[in-house]
Structure 1
């Protein structure tokens, strides 16, 4: 009978970084050999103590990385987040509890640091609910049939007096970070971007090992010259019979801090000569895009799925950080199988602020910490979760009280993959 060796889970050293990356590539079904340029680029993400590995002897068989992040709560306040990425378990070592051990180690450290939440983008849906995460934002992608959209084929410039210019990577690195900061201060669910994000999206750093091809960068300036929007996009070269263009413009990312800028950028993308289809990239499910077109049916949804998952580490800190349009109070029984932040909490909230403290009185609503995360960012409905059997009303009407306090007029959105 074969004997399983003891698996050691621990932070990796710099010397173990190449083997850790080989396991990372293997877990994501990428060629296991990591090119020297790619490895050097990934070293810039290495933070001692925040990259964990599971080792069978001297071979890395599971990977896990976390890093500091800020997540924008409802109302615009950024909270400290433990961002989790690069999670893999090699197929030869599944079902041995390796992810559970790595996750427990990382979340305990995050709690000790004072992080309010943990975040991740889930490659698979069923995994992370076990660790207290809940799907807190949704992502939607559209494909716009440009000829059907009904836009003026003679469109040449924004109607508001602003202008759109094509710029290069230097301009993006110079102007993009401040623009994104303006966006994330106003967008619940948005996360911070490090300098490395801008460098990797403009070809300075090659994170994925494939040859770099520069995209187009479109910049929107208002009539008074202020930068209010920016987009990165790529086009293909596809023609049909009788010399008919069938080209597609694919948006890598688009950020705009005003509806005027958003409208101008989408209209520009739909006016590029020979482009018949515009693929939107990752957008909010209530994005303005479809209704910026004379015929909204020209924008067909191609993907809609959960996106940012959140795990609350500090119930009081999270609920006190966000704003509330309504006034009310509710007692929540938060179930946390991870033992990090469960208990009974009274939330008193209103437009002037909120307080959240441990409570001794009977709970009005009982819910898992993962469902609280989905409610916290304003996207989920407690009434709907109650119908699904995921939250339990201990007092009639409690779910409606929670919805009146926590739901938002616009849906949260995370523009980023990490």
Structure 2
């Protein structure tokens, strides 16, 4: 008999989660982290595939609100904890779970689904497109300086005071700073209660040889205006100390606090390397360093987005320039999205409705998903051609694709600050 899919019951969570851990390999999840994930699991949105008494597949979703261009927070299914046991590969389990999940998301009225892909190749066939990227860097701080503009206070950084704080005790103040940033950068999720605890947990596999999580807050006039959380990994040899700072996260309400925190990280005693593994592609530190070429930078995929309801999703965001055109959408996995849609919008809002008018642009829903948050150009997707991995985007009316691409773009660049 084929494995059976059913909604997860609370008593089955341990078995279900062990199936997930086994599929991903590596060390067991630390107890504190496991306990938090268990408390955050939405059982009615979690699926288990069962072969008799054995759990052989998992998939879940969180009820999130994702920032989109214009600052709206759109109801989004945060797809998570997807796995299939190695013993049950190539039996259609993944497709069956994705089918059931997207049908449920549609029934709940959520316009978007989003995920962080362990293997990006898997999710394109279900209509997910890469919508954000993340920047990683390794900086030799003995050769690269942080050049903070002077003149706005005795310390040169707008009168900001930095102090060490206990990461847990400072969590409420830091979370308020994070919340202030969400509507200003597409791709950031508004964290539901309890989610803030993820940012202060020990990383998967433990802290290694590094320090426990450290936190420095930036204050101005007694108010918290920014924070940085990081680990300090000491290292010594015959030439002296050359420790490494690994940045977990950094947020600030204004440029002065932002610059003060970055300069602090550059100048920590007994260290010579600064590593940041997930920053926005347009992060401003790149314009404050003395030599950007010596900052080893790498890009990788971040958030993958899926438009579950094309009309509602496109109407939920704003557009950088006025746009009015008809899209013809191809979506074989969610055929309710297929057909022609008239989009009209600008910086003040948008509408997107069904139409029988002639199409200006034809495109696969995966291409539309990639462009949705404003970080991927529709014209670039069109240049990839029909064989492009992101799905096609073809212009039928001359000039419409360039106008649409301009309208869909956004500053700042979209970014997902953490996995889920």
TM-score (norm 1): 0.92
Of 25, 43, 47 in structure 1, the residue corresponding to residue 42 of structure 2 is: 47
| Partner deviation per Cα, 1:318-338 (whole Å, 9 max, x = no partner) | 222212231131110111112
User: Which stretch of the first structure deviates more once superposed, 141-150 or 42-51?
Assistant: 42-51
> 1:365: how far off?
0.7
> 1:373: how far off?
1.3
Partner of 1:122: 117
Aligned residues: 407
Taking the aligned partners of 2:147 and 2:186, their CA distance within structure 1 comes to 34
Q: Secondary structure at the match of 2:195?
A: helix
Alpha-carbon spacing, 1:11–1:68, altered in 2? closer, same or farther (3 Å): same
Q: Is the 8 A contact 2:231 2:245 kept in 1?
A: yes
Of 237, 246, 250 in structure 2, the residue corresponding to residue 240 of structure 1 is: 237
| Partner deviation per Cα, 1:137-181 (whole Å, 9 max, x = no partner) | 00110111111113479x995531111111012333221221111
Partner of 1:259: 255
Taking the aligned partners of 2:198 and 2:362, their CA distance within structure 1 comes to 43
Q: CA RMSD in A?
A: 2.2
Of 202, 218, 221 in structure 1, the residue corresponding to residue 219 of structure 2 is: 221
Matched, 1:29 2:40: no
Q: Is the 8 A contact 1:202 1:214 kept in 2?
A: no
Taking the aligned partners of 1:398 and 1:249, their CA distance within structure 2 comes to 47
> 1:74: how far off?
0.4
Taking the aligned partners of 2:294 and 2:30, their CA distance within structure 1 comes to 42
Q: Secondary structure at the match of 1:109?
A: helix
> 1:46: how far off?
2.6
Taking the aligned partners of 2:134 and 2:105, their CA distance within structure 1 comes to 26
> 1:228: how far off?
2.0
Alpha-carbon spacing, 1:196–1:214, altered in 2? closer, same or farther (3 Å): farther
Structure 2: gaps spanning 5 or more residues: 386-391
Q: Is the 8 A contact 2:145 2:266 kept in 1?
A: no
Partner of 2:389: none
Taking the aligned partners of 2:229 and 2:6, their CA distance within structure 1 comes to 39
Partner of 2:60: 65
Of 321, 327, 331 in structure 2, the residue corresponding to residue 336 of structure 1 is: 331
| Partner deviation per Cα, 1:71-124 (whole Å, 9 max, x = no partner) | 001011100000011111111111111111111111111111110100100111
After superposing on structure 2, the runs of 4+ consecutive aligned residues of structure 1 that deviate more than 4 Å are 34-39, 155-158, 206-213
Aligned counterparts, 1:169-248, within 5 A: 169-203=167-201, 208=204, 210=206, 214-222=212-220, 224-242=221-239, 244-248=240-244
Q: Secondary structure at the match of 1:169?
A: coil
Taking the aligned partners of 1:166 and 1:93, their CA distance within structure 2 comes to 50
Matched, 1:142 2:142: no
Alpha-carbon spacing, 1:394–1:74, altered in 2? closer, same or farther (3 Å): same
Q: Is the 8 A contact 1:253 1:281 kept in 2?
A: no
TM-score (norm 2): 0.91
Taking the aligned partners of 1:36 and 1:280, their CA distance within structure 2 comes to 26
Partner of 2:5: 9
Q: Is the 8 A contact 1:290 1:297 kept in 2?
A: no
Alpha-carbon spacing, 1:326–1:30, altered in 2? closer, same or farther (3 Å): same
Alpha-carbon spacing, 1:283–1:126, altered in 2? closer, same or farther (3 Å): same
